[in-house]
Amino acid sequence: MGHPDEQGIVIAGGGICGLAAALALHRKGVKSIVLEGSNTLRATGGGIGIFSNGWRALDQLGIGTELRRKSILTSMFRDVNLRTGELQERLCGNTELRCLKRSDLIEALANGLPHGSIRFGCKIVAVAEDSATSFPLVYLHDGSIISAKVLIGCDGVNSVVAKTLGLKDPRPFRVWTIRGFTNYTSGHSYGSVFTRLLGGSVTFGMIPIDDNLMHWFLSFRCLPDDSRIEDSEQLRDLAMKLVEGFPADASQMVEDSDVSSLSFTSIRYRAPWDFLFCNICKGTTTVVGDAMHVMGPFIGQGGSCGLEDTIVLARNLAEAMQEISVNEFDDRLLQKRVAVALDNYVKERKLRVLRLSTQTYLIGMLIYSPSKVTQFFVFVLLVAFFGGKSFGHSRYDCGQL
């Protein structure tokens, strides 16, 4: 086995949160490297809705203005209950919600990083503590080892870093989604409205990205028995089957979609009660984004919450690194300072994440629980703790970098 490659701050995973963490540190003058398992930047899932709290974080990263130009401001939420015909409309008011192409977000984050910050094709297979130094050792699939002074796990729902910290595996919500884009070359007719068609066990949502492009999603709690999903065409066939009986424009949107944009996901979540009692950091290792708090998409906050994490983490880490050069430091001093910084990061994030993941879980139960009794109790809890289905969660401000 070769000698470990010694590095300073190592970020595991180059998705939204890994790149945002690297950019936040870079803006604070702190160097890091990102280890991404894929050979290119990944942007699976079509669009991503970013609420005011996420935009505040993007502004801190210096890419908010550029990204606002690529997405229109949502003016209204419209829910149509297809079984009862009930229509609910809410103006967005002060809530800033815009749906971005994930690829635009990923590119804007990556473009802000110094050349060579991202190492592609670096799949992490294990993490361990170096018994001699107590720093994390990162094992890659090609047999190489990286010795990191600080390890930030941004490796998503199946996080290797989270496992090392002892976090419990995410649970299945028993809800699946199909997401995709449909481009209307002569412009679509949906204005700036985010519409959800609630069809019982199937929900169809559509939100504009710009005047031509619509992001849509289908979420459903049972897969048709004969469904086979081996390629994008079969995925579109399944989506077509699920929107049978929905208004014609919904099935037309699915039929006209760009097959290469389609993705299928089984929703998973880290249960709020699992999260409450787990270690989010240990020594100089911690987790960010889905690696820490994967949640269902029911209030569209997973990504925005992860962006908040990166600002809070970079602020604390940069303070700890002040006056210490990562290449010529006193290991003990660095370990002590980073441990305090990560503790502060966890203290700042824990309650916020707990509230968001609880609210997400309850909204998911409200939409998808087949039991009316459960739905009633969940509704009471939501009103008692979160003021109903409000968007108060987007008022949170993660502060300055």
Beta carbon nearer to ligand FAD, 146 or 334: 146
CA–CA distance, 215 with 137 (Å, rounded to integer): 40
Beta carbon nearer to ligand FAD, 218 or 334: 218
Q: How far is the CB of 309 from ligand FAD (least distance, A)?
A: 9
Q: How far is the CB of 206 from ligand FAD (least distance, A)?
A: 13
Asked if residue 119 lies in contact with residue 35, where contact means CB atoms within 8 angstroms, the answer is yes
Q: How far is the CB of 331 from ligand FAD (least distance, A)?
A: 26
**Residue 43 corresponds to which tokens in the numbers above?**
């942007």
Q: How far is the CB of 119 from ligand FAD (least distance, A)?
A: 10
In single-letter form, the type of residue at position 263 comes to S
* Greatest alpha-carbon span in the chain: 67
Beta carbon nearer to ligand FAD, 154 or 167: 154
Q: How far is the CB of 58 from ligand FAD (least distance, A)?
A: 11
Beta carbon nearer to ligand FAD, 232 or 377: 232
Handedness of CA 17, 23, 28, 29 (dihedral sign): positive
DSSP label at residue 210: S
Beta carbon nearer to ligand FAD, 71 or 316: 71
Question: Which residues in this chain contact ligand FAD in the complex, by CB under 6 A?
Answer: 12-18, 35-38, 42, 45, 48-49, 122-124, 154-156, 158, 160, 177, 179, 265, 267, 289-291, 297, 300-304, 306
Beta carbon nearer to ligand FAD, 31 or 119: 119
Q: How far is the CB of 44 from ligand FAD (least distance, A)?
A: 8
| Backbone phi, psi, residue 207, to 5° | -140, 130
| Backbone phi, psi, residue 240, to 5° | -60, -40
CA–CA distance, 237 with 258 (Å, rounded to integer): 13
Compute CA 209 distance to the chain's CA centroid, rounded to the nearest angstrom: 18
Q: How far is the CB of 360 from ligand FAD (least distance, A)?
A: 10
| Backbone phi, psi, residue 320, to 5° | -65, -30
Exposure on the CB side of residue 243, measured as CA atoms within 13 A: 25
Q: Please measure the distance between the N-terminal and C-terminal CA atoms of the chain and give it in whole angstroms.
A: 40
Q: Which of 271, 329, 382, 356 is nearest to 150 (CA)?
A: 329
Q: How far is the CB of 16 from ligand FAD (least distance, A)?
A: 4
Q: How far is the CB of 323 from ligand FAD (least distance, A)?
A: 30
Beta carbon nearer to ligand FAD, 121 or 224: 121
Beta carbon nearer to ligand FAD, 203 or 335: 203
Query: Buried b vs exposed e over 10-30: b needs ≥16 C-beta within 10 Å?
Result: bbbbbbbbbbbbbbbbbbeeb
| Backbone phi, psi, residue 234, to 5° | -65, -30
Q: How far is the CB of 297 from ligand FAD (least distance, A)?
A: 3
Beta carbon nearer to ligand FAD, 80 or 124: 124
DSSP label at residue 74: P
CA distances from 105 to 20, 47, 110, 275, 305 (A): 10, 9, 9, 28, 15
| Backbone phi, psi, residue 118, to 5° | -105, 125
Exposure on the CB side of residue 138, measured as CA atoms within 13 A: 32
DSSP label at residue 260: G
What is the number of the residue whose Cβ is closest to ligand FAD? Answer: 15
Beta carbon nearer to ligand FAD, 45 or 335: 45
